[in-house]
Structure 1
Amino acid sequence: MQSKRDGTGYRILTILKKSNVIRAARLSVAPMMDWTDRHCRYFHRLLSGDALLFTEMVTAPALVRGGALHLLEYSPEEHPVALQLGGSDPQELAQAARQGAQAGYDEINLNVGCPSDRVQSGAFGAVLMLQPGLVADCVAAMQDAVDVEVTVKCRIGVDDQVAEDTLPAFLERIRDAGCRRVTIHARKAWLQGLSPKENRDIPPLDYDLVLRMKRDFPDLHISINGGITTLDQARTFLDAGLDGVMIGRAAYHDPATVLAAADPVIFGTGTRRDPVEVVHLMIPYIEAHLSQGGKLHQISRHMLGLFAGRPGARAWRRMLSEGAHRPGAGPELILAALAQVPQDEITQAG
């Protein structure tokens, strides 16, 4: 008997899903620990209907050995959304990828870029760039386990590696293992001597190397990450031949500037999203969260930068920062904070 997975209709849906994700990957919001949780992603989706969203990194051991399936929870509105996994055991990653695919994620991404000590001690993240063969084995095992695309996010190198030599060799190994899409953070990761925060800023950016990788690997879909703060920068990289751009902290701290205009600027669809309208659209989501025992600050903390650089932004942030933790805080606080932001200024800024 033919299984659903083998059916023609299933294969067509899989192809269409991958096509939609590839299009969305023209602009993506980077996976960021403690930031890109499901509440943040729902908020970001209201700002951009087209950009690809990523979960925080979820470790394969937490899912497979710890049974922490709650880490896979998300809202259907978040699609297209990718699950980023951390791990170094091919079979464990395959099982975690299968759980992610069963949960409905559009892409499974392997973290080969995080430089934190905690990640290194688990033998995954950026330290894996020293073991391209193991990364290839992980990619192959994950690919065999799921129908959704398996991708990799990496650095240009680590420590004393000569990135011009080791990065091409790394890309060749994962390509041969079946990976067709990779996001490259255009900095090295220094596993010794720099903190994770310092690793985001101190190692110099080498955008030219990433551009050369696209020329040398034309069959790979390559996105660039690191130090990119505006849509103008993103368009410059896309015009230069890269397939996608990933923005991290700028998208989080100034979401209206980066994400509200992303659909028309990057994808050629729709119009700029009105941040005031987005606030109102968040109210039902907040009410539902509170009704389930959640706290307002779990959502509002992601909204603090919505009016960055605009009149009233400081009052907006202050009211939410000081009031969202208080017992009984709810949507009325959000609306009171919004009243501190001159609406005509927002309209002009948009």
Structure 2
Amino acid sequence: MKILITGAAGFIGMHTVKKIASLGHQVIGLDNINAYYEIELKYARLHELGINKSLLQYNKVLKGNTNISFIQLDIQDAGNLNVLFANEKFDLVIHLAAQAGVRYSITNPRDYIDSNIIGFYTILEACRNFQVQHLIYASSSSVYGNTNTIPFSENQNTDFPVSFYAATKKSNEVMAHAYSSLYQLKITGLRFFTVYGPWGRPDMAPVLFAKAGVQSNPIKVFNNGEQSRDFTYIDDIVQGIVLVAENKSLLKNYQILNIGKGSPVSLMDFIRLLEKELNLQFEYDFMPPQKGDVITTYSNTSEIEKLGYKASTPLEKGIPKFVEWFKDYYKITQKF
């Protein structure tokens, strides 16, 4: 297939581009390379895909590693996006670009309207107008909000998001349903559960905790550590994306699927495993709950398991891989 993957300089996006290309598909990665977090990390991810940052030019397609090309482009730029769709005639679009971050959405909600609502609309329109066979897009476990109904199943109520980020992801699901129904588009939404691993975002807990620990700073632990997360290793997430991409015929015309580990872990247990792997003793700064945070995430993955999905990476394997990358990327030379 010829596949467009948006958010290609992002955490999940980079891993997805590498895997999909390795399976023989022709991939064009797209990203606007914004400065929401350290831009050098995005350039380093692109380097992993064979893209030289010195050659980047807005709206110019560059060749990377085998089966990989890349274009720096904003998903809100409908004119240039439509030209790209017209020229490339994509079979499949995997839409991972979004303004991420629950806490950032509290202070900067407009960024989420621009990227997650207007940008998503632009992608939907391009898929409609250029006969894309299948659109896969990233939703989030945050749409479930604070519910006592666990594990979270795709058919349960998601009308009460507790962050604006979650509200925009819920909006994506509703918009996608309307487009699928109106225009007979095949659209699949993926609710990701707490993704971690090498090349992770610096605004997420694993990098925040590891950085603070090696710098002998206290780590901020919200809700006094009394929360749990369905931590899912990046390779398991990508496995799920690939299964959805390659099994279109087994999917409904419109479908939402959870992708998670299916076994929540307490935040404090996660922190202790990270301490052990870094050979550090963190100093804790226990804090009250943060606005927008949910207490527990817990995925029911029975629907995606019908495609052959199985999350196989326990924290005891995933955290060492994350720490190995963290030490290498951030050039940590201290003896732990």
Question: Common fold, TM-score beyond 0.5?
Answer: no
Higher relative contact order (CA 8 A, sep 6+): 2
Q: Bin the TM-score by the shorter chain.
A: 0.3 to 0.5
Rg comparison, structure with higher value: 1
Taking structure 2 as the reference length, the TM-score comes to 0.37
Greater share of helix:
1
